[in-house]
Amino acid sequence: MTDGWSWSYEDAHGAPVTSAQVVTTGFPTQGDAESWLGEHWRTLFAGGVAAVTLHHADRTVYGPMLLSAGG
């Protein structure tokens, strides 16, 4: 991992989700990462992402956090 903020994604079975549609890194602040998720969670959910985890450098900040179609 890098020194920045990043997301990892899991499907409903806990398996990692990776694809060209998911952004995992490149967030300079926690707020930037969380704002991005707030704008894109519906697309992630529709693409099979059931949970997200936020990372900073080499540590888990929180998660897995379930995404829900109900918001």
pLDDT at 69: 65
Is pLDDT of 8 > 60? yes
Mean pLDDT to the nearest integer, 28-47: 93
| pLDDT averaged over every residue in the chain | 87
The span from the CA of 66 to the CA of 26, in Å, is: 22
Structural element, H or E, at residue 66: strand 59-66
pLDDT at residue 27, rounded to an integer: 92
Does residue 71 lie within any of the structural domains? Answer: no
In a domain, 18, yes or no: yes
**Predicted pLDDT at 22:** 67
Would 47 be classed as within a structural domain?
Answer: yes
Alpha helices in 1-71 (DSSP H): 30-46
Closest by CA to 3, choosing from 36, 37, 30, is: 30
Give the integer Cα–Cα distance in Å for 71 and 56.
Answer: 25
Range of the domain at 26: 5-66
pLDDT at 59: 94
- pTM recorded for the entire structure: 0.85
- Read off the tokens for 65: 């956090």
